[in-house]
Structure 1
Amino acid sequence: MVAAGGAGPGGGAPPRRHAPAGDQAGRHGVTDLLIVLVLLVAAAVPLWLLRDLRTVPQGAARTTDGTRVSVVVPARDEEQTLPGLLRSLRDLAVAEVIVVDDASRDATATVAHEAGALVLPAGVPPDGWTGKAWACHTGSGAATGDVLLFLDADTVLAPDALDGLLQLHADRGGLVSVQPFHRVLRPYEQLSAYFNVVALMASGAFIGRPPSTPMAFGPCLLTSRTDYDLAGGHEAVRGAILDDVRLAEAYDRAGLPVTCAVGARSVTMRSYPGGLSQLVSGWTKNIASGASAAGTRASLAAVLWICAHHAVAVGALLGLLAALTGRGDGWTVGSPLVWTLAWVGLAWQLRGILRRAGSFRWWTWALFPLPLLAFDLVFARSAALTVVRRSVSWRGRPVDLRHERSAEEVG
């Protein structure tokens, strides 16, 4: 007699029924197909967001129209980076180089003076002003040129960079903004990889038409004095931590175009050479605020791309764990072959983008989960400080985001 409950012979539990092998293979095939389709959509995101990734023109003819270019460099604790910029400006046809010393605690002013630059002390920013906006405002007020070139202290210009910038401005007008080619030297600097790529993609500045939300990159900005005054200058963005983005909005409101480019070999920079803590602080200050200021469609597309990288990293690593230990089959979705091919494909695509953004090493894209994890951690920290605490710190100076105002509010 069979015992109640359906026990088989000998009173044991009934044998577990397994789905036919054909059914399992069919389900795995459908899952793999869905994974491949989602990843293909994600891989197409950079093709859309970066399809017009223009660079500063190289080999442009030297300007002979009598244009006077004033270079304004806001500088706070930049004694290590400033010499490289000032050396690169020495042989360029600029009318003057103005270094605005933003209450530096090192020898920034001495270094600038010895290099022949005009050094202006910024003093304490007035209420409602950020330090950088006030320094740029101070420098622009002293400038005598009819074209203003604002440069961060960690940028370096190639011999033909100024001619290329002026040509781009002559073709487009308004505000010309350049994201410099990022020179990364030490291993920890490689962790900036995803920050650089996401900044380019989420900006929406390279989709081949004017973005719905105008964007600009702060390290290199060129404009005529007339357009700068018409847009309201840095006074229009005096309380903004993202002064570059808000300045782009001010130009757009004034009916002036904003053109973005990448630096290639013409305009380069080395950000955060002071160590890992400086890198974390710098990206903490910018990344979450930048994400909130970017256009919706470009931001969502960039998020999809980042999510695809997370999915591939987790899927491939779980598949590898299951293959090595013989356990974890219940955790994995999709076949190991699909995840392996996806890893190779996304890593190779990341390689191509990083080659345009900076001098990143091979392991940065081959082992992309490492810089991806750094991006996650710093973004979470940035979001906590900017969204919840509403305060960040940069170069020993607190920045209170509760009083940040857009160009429209202060204009």
Structure 2
Amino acid sequence: MLSRLARPCFQQASTVHKNFLSNAKNWAVRKGQSTIAAEAALKQGASIAAKEGTTATSRVVGWWMAGCAGMCVGAVVLGGVTRLTESGLSMTDWQLLGRPPPSNEEDWLVEFEKYKQSPEFKWKNFDITIEQFKFIWYMEWGHRMWGRTIGAVFFLPAGVMWAKGMFNSAMKKRVGAAGTLLLFQGLLGWYMVKSGLDHNNFLGPSDVPRVSQYRLAAHLSSAVILYSVLFWNAKSILKPALEFDPSKITPQLVKFRKWTMSCKALAFITLVSGAFVAGLDAGLVYNSFPKFADRWIPEDILDHSPVLRNITENPTTVQFNHRVLGTTTLAVLSFTAFQAQRLPLPQRMKTAALLMGCMGWMQVALGVSTLLLYVPVPVAAAHQSGALATLSLAMWLSHETQYLKMAKKLVK
């Protein structure tokens, strides 16, 4: 059935690519550029089309990838709540295909006894009740099973569509990369949890049982990269980038594309910085804004030695860096959104830029609220989700400007 649906639903992106490339070549020739320059522009545009893999890809594939991307959003949100409720170390074992929850009180007691052997119980939750344990256990179990569900929704249809010939060569590479990322993500999750179950990691007098902030940041980063791959390819199929008239492309528009790329990069880096904040509970130090207590620069910002350790291991420094990154990102997002309204851009692109700028302000407001309110779970979860929403809007805007990359040669 999927193969039958593929034929009538072939993406019109192929026509969009061809029209733009033809217009670009004709414009270059009319402007007196050499045939070699025109052909160079044509080849670069063709390369974009090949990389996007949309020239012969069914919309069924696009919707499948969009669905998987949406499920990745759910996993990131659920993972954030799991971390905020300190539920991540409640399950002390890992099985590839998972297992059902305990079915009776005896099974729950067995599970509780396993947890009692963990550093978290020994040093932190020694007074937890069985009912409280059930809550955190179900949180972690739900997060893990959601991840396995994503695996099933991705790999089973991928196998069918691959066998039916619904992927072109470029899309096969993308699907293969996404599948590899998905498998890696699952293994990395357990590798992260193991860091919080090893008693040797918590021998110091002030050590707090929790997962490694490095592994937490890696786990979140890989999830976001997987989401980004799925999001970008789904959009390329379902809503291709806008076609530009080469004769109307100016150096200002080409420069605008660089700003959109900066927005995307800064949104991602700030998001990863937030993982270190979460991993070190850095949101619970200096709950004031904009100053750190009564200082602009906290006095313990370089307490650790060697100095470089402060960047990823000192909660004060981690929070300071996150504030600076957040403020910088907001400034760049706002400037880019403002520029988009001034430039002769299609309305769809102006809308994406405006939404991105508004989301940036909302995200900062959520971050400040999380800090001032001492990290309440609902507000903190909204802040973590907002980071992904901001990145998504930055990717949307960046995707819409991808043809300006080809036009750069023509402008020169």
Give the shorter-chain TM-score range. Answer: under 0.3
TM-score by length of 1: 0.25
TM-score by length of 2: 0.25
Q: Which has the higher helix share?
A: 2
Structure showing greater Rg: 1
Q: Which has the higher strand share?
A: 1
